Chain A
Amino acid sequence: MKPIHSTNDFVIKFANVNGSGSASANEMFARAIMRMGVPVAPRNIFPSNIQGMPTWYEMRVSAAGWLGRRGGCDLMVAMNPQTWDRDIAEIEPGGYLFYDSTKAQPRSRFREDITVLGIPLTEICNREYTDARQRQLFKNIMYVGALTALLGMDFSVVEKLIADQYRGKDKLIDANVNALKLGYEHAMQNLSCPIGLRVERADGVGKQIFINGNNACGLGAVYGGATVAGWYPITPSTSVIEAFGSYCRKYRTDPDNGMARYAIVQAEDELASIGMVIGAAWNGARAFTATSGPGISLMQEFFGLAYFAEVPVVVFNVQRGGPSTGMPTRTQQSDLIACAYASHGDTKHVLLFPEDPYECFTLGAQAFDLADRLQTPVFVLLDLDIGMNDRLCQPFDWDDQRRYDRGKVMTAEQLEAGKNFGRYLDVDGDGIPWRTIPGTHPTKGAFFSRGTTRNAYAKYSEAGTDYVYNMERLRRKFETAKKMVPAPVLKPASQATRFGAIHYGSTSPAMAEASALLEAQGIHVDTLRVRGFPFADEVIDFINDHDVVFVVEQNESGQLRMLLLTEGEIDPKKLVRVLHYDGTPITARFIAGRIGDALSEHKVTPIRKQVAS
């Protein structure tokens, strides 16, 4: 088997034990590659546990800038004996295995078709260090050093990274650089460096920033003007609030007196979190919560209240594997239905689907304008893959001329001037009524909010005509929302084609690479990335304009497809499911494989053989 040769385009996977300090070493290695100008997309695959369970860190290295998972693994850094067998099995034919060769392993534990690279890391560590924790931590740095040699990377780049990371702590710098050198030199002396996989300096990173989606959501909430957050800890959404808190401390502390221009309350549960958010939003503050699957389930009754009483709230749902507790530390896009129709009765909600941290920021901030404008809950649906993994993306930007759109809020002056106020009256024909903020005017504009039915002037009413007026207005409002949610993004194939693919959220980078893989085989597919619900007309037009449309998503039941079928009244035969839901992020090879297979099975495309695995 010929070893794989590839420069700036491969996949490395680190198999570690969680709690062993490997995460920071792995991340440092990813950063070193990026400093050489080569884009990297790392992904943590971690257990719902604090210490001792298997964890993986997969790095897609791609000068072309493919930031999705590709699929397969070219170099496995196998540091966890527990998962050895499956880690070895995962290596591509012709790939590489890097391992700790301190303990001799029988030949049967390796594969013939891969290159095996062993370094006695434990032995070196035991020789060099006495402290147990040091032995563990420096072992990680040592393999980073060895990989630096094996991939032909610039030692000084990693060295400088360490210096930057521990700036001001000279002792730590020296110790880490020393460990790095030990690994580097051992590899240089005992292994044939470099191997077929190489990193060479390139210019693919540019101005891009490296941040995770949860941090970007927290920042988006700051820029979006949120002042109140109610929340309850749950993986993988917790860090949205943590980020909001730390950005608030930085940007929202009153310079004169150190007081907070925000309030964050850790509630007793998700019911209380969303309750607080509803109370604050009803009272005129921008407010949000962040949660994940089980929290969304608990909040259902309150979503109905916010919908029916028309209170503008923002919910960041960082999706994880369901149902129930499901796969708490794995990724999925399986809460679309639970959010789109959240709560009993006839409800419908606005959903936004960011593709990466940049959009977590922009759509996160925009969610507050949309919620205020539409006076309804707005869900930002990201997932663990975007939320918890650092990702290269375009730098954040903000137009200083932009003003918050607080929507139809009637002021004391307007009330004083005698403007007709009916809380649930459709005066503008767009289904959106006017509201007043408590405390506005001594005698005018007060109303009683409730989840029960009422007339257009917010008076309790069980009259069928009042109920129907209200429901029809809410439908009109939802129609209005169609034009306000972010438009879908079309990427046409290089040739006119009858085939399309619809995708959303974190699937985006894998879909982009899949399109390229398919194009290379002569299969042309137009792709449309949906960014919001209700669906803009362009989404339905796209389906109508193609004979077959693949709906690519990361859940078991095809939830976006279901939404498209019901909301767009589409013929089900037209929408073909491409579903990936094992809890790991979808890969380019998976998508290209499924679409390629389907098209060749249906003999609807020039027969060309399948894409790689």
Chain B
Amino acid sequence: MTYLAKPKLLRTDAPKNSLGYTRRDYEGAISTLCAGCGHDSISAAIVQACFDLDIEPHRVAKLSGIGCSSKTPDYFLGASHGFNTTHGRMPSVLTGAALANRDLTYMGISGDGDSASIGIGQFAHAMRRGVNMTYIVENIGVYGLTKGQFSATADKGSKSKRGVVNNDTPIDLVALALQLGASYVARSFSGDKEQLIPLIKGALRHRGPAFIDVISPCVTFNNHAGSTKSYDYVREHNDAVNRLDFILPRDQINATYAPGELRRIVQHDGSILHLRKLDSDYDPSDRVGAMNHLQERHALGEIVTGLLYVDSSAEDLHRHLNTVEKPLNQLGDAYLCPGSKALDALNASLR
């Protein structure tokens, strides 16, 4: 719990959103993670994003794998159903859940071990399939829950707390997501809520696979000198390409932008992404350009953050499967069972 303390007593003057909920209504159980763990900041950002977006908590399903990061869905949105699945396999469970009821909002929370090591296959295929979800990896470059071993996102040359140097090439989940067809791709830093919260909002209101890689320092096992995922290192090397302001259709737009500074993207549901450019050449609708940019900056040791790619007209898995509008889990017997007459005809054709 780094910046969002849970008040034990509800203040009567606590701000309410248009559903009449306070931020407290979006919180969950008390976190059991280490004090200062970046994961808690991400949970807090999720709480804020859902509160701001007036999302009904019970219309969200939150799923995760196994790890410190994957525990966090217990610590936000206590009124949502959650599913802490098995290590590396959240994407398939989320996919199935999303097939069963297309009307809920699906949030997948994972770790770098969970998604880039044991679960890289499921990560890849969920992106390919176009599952409508917000997929957040809380990326610390190590396995937190099993006490600090390198994960597959650890940078080459990065040093572990015990002084071991990682020699393996890192996997960049953002690069993978771009290649595999995610239609909203971002990277952020758990220590930068100003950047993170709007990115989560944009993702939640995106149709299709939205992926956010959040560098989230592990204060216990990976926050030392020589680590490339420490608070200090990430702050020094954070190379944001843009800043996002997320705007609901009903919101008034107050901010003023210098000419040429802004890029405006309207998502399928009318929500608006205002992107203030920090890197004037960066074009978030150019997938290949985004991949090149990432590679170039990574070679220089920089961590590219911001909304890296968005395709606001993307279609999702349900569209591909042409499933009915009504959620499959709500179709009654009459819609599902062809009945005895159909069976008689079928029997006749089998003689």
Contact = CB atoms under 8 A, between A and B. Distances in A.
B229 interface: no
A451 B86 contact: yes
A396 to B, nearest CB: 5
A338 interface: no
A281 interface: yes
Interface in A267-309: 267-269, 271-285, 287, 301-302, 305, 309
Contacts of B333: 225, 403-404
Contacts of A260: 321-324
Name which of B61, B89, B92, B335 has the most chain A CB atoms within 10 A of its CB: B92
Contacts of B350: 209-211, 395
Interface string A393-424: 00111111001100000000000000000000
Contact of A449 (B81, B322, B329): B81
A254 B78 contact: no
A258 B324 CA distance: 9
A443 B329 contact: no
Given A275-B85, A448-B82, A263 B328 contact: yes
B255 interface: no
A261 B328 contact: yes
B298 interface: no
B84 A448 contact: yes
A279 B336 contact: no
Contacts of A211: 350
B81 A447 contact: yes
Contact of A210 (B338, B339, B351): B351
A227 interface: yes
Interface in A202-235: 207-211, 219, 222-223, 225, 227-228, 230
Interface residues of B, number: 61
B93 A276 contact: yes
A438 B336 contact: no
Contacts of A268: 121-122, 124-125
A285 B104 CA distance: 14
A437 interface: yes
Interface stretch (B94-102, B194-202, B275-283): B94-102
A452 interface: yes
Interface in B85-125: 85-86, 89, 91-101, 103-104, 121-122, 124-125
A275 B82 contact: no
A442 interface: yes
B342 A263 contact: no
Contacts of A48: none
Nearest to B129: A265
Contacts of A272: 89, 91-92, 95, 121-122, 125
Interface stretch (B51-59, B170-178, B307-315): B51-59
B96 A284 contact: no
Contacts of B78: 446
A252 B328 CA distance: 11
Nearest to A216: B350
A262 B328 contact: yes
Nearest to B96: A279
B100 A228 contact: yes
Contact of B61 (A264, A267, A439, A443): A439
A227 B102 CA distance: 13
A470 interface: no
Nearest to A305: B86
B81 A263 contact: no
Contacts of B351: 207-210
A166 interface: no
B261 to A, nearest CB: 41
B347 interface: yes
Given A279-B100, A283-B100, A452 B93 contact: no
Contacts of A443: 58, 79
A436 interface: yes
A400 B343 CA distance: 11
A448 B331 CA distance: 25
B145 to A, nearest CB: 12
Given A283-B100, A446-B58, A400 B340 contact: yes
A301 B86 contact: yes
Given A277-B96, A400-B340, A305 B81 contact: no
Nearest to B121: A268
Contacts of B329: 227, 280, 283-285, 437
A397 B340 contact: yes
Given A268-B122, A276-B93, A398-B340, A449 B324 contact: no
B328 A439 contact: no
Contacts of B99: 228, 263, 265, 276, 279-280, 285
Contacts of B330: 284
Interface in B284-336: 317-318, 321-325, 328-331, 333, 335-336
A440 B85 contact: no
A279 B96 CA distance: 4
B331 A227 contact: yes
Nearest to B84: A450
A129 interface: no
B245 interface: no
Given A271-B89, A275-B85, A403-B333, A259 B122 contact: no
Nearest to B89: A275
Nearest to B74: A448
Interface in A447-469: 447-452, 459-460
B337 A439 contact: no
Nearest to A35: B351
B122 A271 contact: yes
Given A440-B58, A446-B79, A261 B336 contact: yes
A267 B206 CA distance: 24
A155 interface: no
Interface in B39-97: 56-59, 61, 63, 73-74, 78-86, 89, 91-97
B95 to A, nearest CB: 5
A442 to B, nearest CB: 5
Contacts of A222: 336-338
A272 B129 CA distance: 12
Contact of A285 (B74, B95, B101): B101
Contacts of B5: none
A335 B8 CA distance: 54
B68 to A, nearest CB: 13
Interface in B115-149: 121-122, 124-125, 129
Interface string A229-261: 010000000000000000000011010011111
B10 interface: no
B124 to A, nearest CB: 8
A215 to B, nearest CB: 9
Contacts of A491: none
A441 interface: yes
Interface of A: 207-211, 219, 222-223, 225, 227-228, 230, 251-252, 254, 257-265, 267-269, 271-285, 287, 301-302, 305, 309, 395-400, 403-404, 436-443, 446-452, 459-460
What are the 5 tightest A-B residue pairs by CB atom distance, in nearest-first order? Answer: A279-B96, A275-B92, A285-B100, A276-B96, A438-B81
9 contacts: A259-B324, A271-B122, A272-B121, A279-B95, A285-B101, A439-B103, A443-B58, A451-B85, A452-B84
Given A272-B95, A400-B340, 8 more contacts: A219-B346, A252-B336, A260-B321, A279-B95, A280-B99, A287-B96, A396-B343, A451-B85
